[in-house]
Structure 1
Amino acid sequence: MVDVIFSRNSVYQTAYHVVWCPKYRKPILTGQVGESCSRLIDEICDANSWPVITKEIQPDHIHLFVSIPPSISVANAVKILKGSTARKLFTLHPEIKKELWGGSLWSPSYYVGTAGNVSAETIQRYIERTEHIKGRR
């Protein structure tokens, strides 16, 4: 469920379903790289006070269901998430550079969808269900 958030100058209830992929859709988000990525996303969201509703790290893409305040554009939030995770993952796991030529970790595009309360629960169930099909590719 998406909570109503009270800030100093606004009250909001936002929920964004964001999906992004590694460059060339390489399945590199496994094992320690996937765990590091998950932890980094949590740290970035915590530092920015963006509540994570749910997330799922697949080998070749990330689903993040997050509440971002209206004062931050979704494009800027995604830029922060992708940029920070890329820098830190390349530092923590330099071996992934061998898989990705050109110096970029993430594909330049992403998907974002908005949700109200009813569809927010549906999105959350969908993301949580994908956990059970990780090995089916």
Structure 2
Amino acid sequence: MSNTFTQLYIHCVFAVKYRKAVIQPTWEERLHQYITGILQNNGHKLLAINSMPDHLHFFVGINPKQSISDMMRVAKGDSSEFINKEKFTERKFYWQDGYGAFSNSRTQIDGVVKYIMNQKQHHTKKTFREEYLDILKDYAVEYNEKYIFHDLLDG
């Protein structure tokens, strides 16, 4: 569209179903590359991606032709198919329902990229649940505890 200009930066976070620690160092880079391809094929500009065994973060300059919910549906759906096709896990792999998507300004890009790339260091000090609750608080997102990512035993 002519005369249409956007600058939309979104930090996305989502968890493995029941927050099971199944993303392994032996294949996480292939997962990152696959998700990068999904995002780029949909016109998004990936700025950072990283994962822990139980969750994944990516930071993207979003193409406004695709909604955030559609982007996440495609990224999660296609990547879980890839993981299952490659048989990276012993059992069928699923992402947990839902995701976090947080908008950022251009001046925050470097900080968000650094934060995502330093995931391994962050998680020596806090769990994914603690991190996620901190992110919700930092972005002043109202939430219901009932809908926060759960462990298998949490229900």
TM-score category of the 2 structures, normalised to the smaller one: 0.7 to 0.9
Question: Could you tell which deviates more after superposition, 72-81 or 10-19?
Answer: 10-19
Asked whether 1:26 is paired with 2:20, we answer yes
Q: How does 1:1-137 map to 2 (within 5 A)?
A: 10-93=4-87, 95-97=89-91, 105-133=94-122
1:75 to partner: Cα distance: 0.5
Q: Structure 1 unaligned runs (5+)? A: 1-6, 98-102
CA contact (8 A) 1:37 1:85 kept: yes
Take 2:10 and 2:43, find their aligned partners in 1: how far apart are those partners? 14
Equivalent position SS for 1:54: strand
CA contact (8 A) 1:33 1:89 kept: no
Structure-1-length-normalised TM-score: 0.80
The alignment's C-alpha RMSD in Å is 2.1
What are the superposed Cα offsets for residues 21-68 of structure 1, whole Å, 9 maximum, x if unpaired? Answer: 110101111123312211211111221221111111111110100111
Equivalent position SS for 2:22: coil
Task: Give aligned-pair identity as a percent.
Answer: 21
Structure-2-length-normalised TM-score: 0.72
Equivalent position SS for 1:82: helix
Take 1:96 and 1:10, find their aligned partners in 2: how far apart are those partners? 47
Letter in 1 for 2:111: T
CA contact (8 A) 2:83 2:89 kept: no
Q: Which runs of 4+ in 1 moved over 4 A?
A: 133-137
Cα distance change, pair 89–8 in 1 and its aligned pair in 2 (3 A): farther
